[in-house]
């Protein structure tokens, strides 16, 4: 499993000012089971649902039971990285899901967790420490501000 930085495959096609259109389709070689938007455990190859990381060729297998779903995200904020010029999307979790997130990150130190939006694998950060306080982020460094706004809207649409 590599986590190579690559140009995101999410199309940055602007149809109206400020609007971004995405290609949310499945990629060849992925399992057909639909995953709801949320965070998942990355498991051993062949042991879960296979997904290909967006904008990359890396394959990951995910436990199909989400740790946190879109409905458990309480707030969003777009931010600009203080290290470079990239954008990110922070997500504040509900109190109940913050506890699950703390356990999941604690259990995954040295491994990866995965963010899926609209059944598409967008992010697989390595977990370096247990995360308390119910915060998470999509800060891969490959998505534009417009793409992150579209991702945020897609997550919000699943909260309905």
Which CATH number do you get for residue 136?
A: 3.30.1360.200
The pLDDT assigned to 8 comes to 42
Q: Is 37 domain-assigned? A: yes
Residue 147 domain-assigned (yes or no): yes
Q: Which pLDDT score, from 0 to 100, does residue 9 have? A: 42
Does residue 58 sit within a domain? yes
In a domain, 1, yes or no: no
109, burial (CB in 10 Å: exposed 0-12, middle 13-18, buried 19+): exposed
pLDDT of 12: 45
CB 41 within 8 A of CB 106: no
Residue 25 lies in a domain: yes
Q: Tell me if 7 is assigned to some domain.
A: no
Give the total number of structural domains in the chain. Answer: 1
pLDDT tens for the chain, 160 residues: list them. 433 333 344 444 444 444 454 555 555 666 788 999 999 999 999 899 999 999 999 999 999 999 999 999 999 999 998 787 899 999 999 999 999 999 999 999 999 999 999 999 999 999 999 999 999 999 988 999 999 999 999 999 999 8
Q: Is the pTM of this model over 0.85?
A: no
In a domain, 59, yes or no: yes
- Predicted local confidence at residue 160, as pLDDT: 82
For position 83, what pLDDT does the model report? 80
In a domain, 6, yes or no: no
CA dist., res. 124 & res. 115, Å (int): 6
What is the domain extent for residue 49?
13-157
């Amino acid at each position: 499993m590599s986590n190579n930085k690559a140009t995101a495959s999410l199309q940055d096609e602007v149809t109206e000012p400020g609007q971004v259109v995405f290609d949310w389709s499945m990629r060849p070689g992925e399992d057909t089971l639909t995953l709801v938007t949320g965070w998942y455990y990355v498991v051993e190859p062949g042991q879960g649902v296979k997904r290909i990381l967006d904008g990359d060729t890396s394959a990951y297998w995910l436990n199909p039971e989400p740790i946190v779903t879109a409905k458990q995200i309480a707030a969003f904020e777009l931010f600009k990285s203080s290290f470079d010029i990239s954008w990110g999307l922070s997500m504040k979790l509900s109190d109940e899901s913050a506890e699950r997130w703390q356990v999941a990150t604690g259990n995954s130190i040295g491994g990866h967790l995965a963010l899926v939006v609209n059944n598409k694998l967008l992010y697989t950060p390595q977990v370096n420490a247990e995360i308390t306080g119910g915060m998470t982020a999509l800060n891969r460094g490959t998505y534009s501000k417009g793409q992150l706004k579209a991702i945020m809207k897609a997550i919000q649409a699943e909260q309905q």
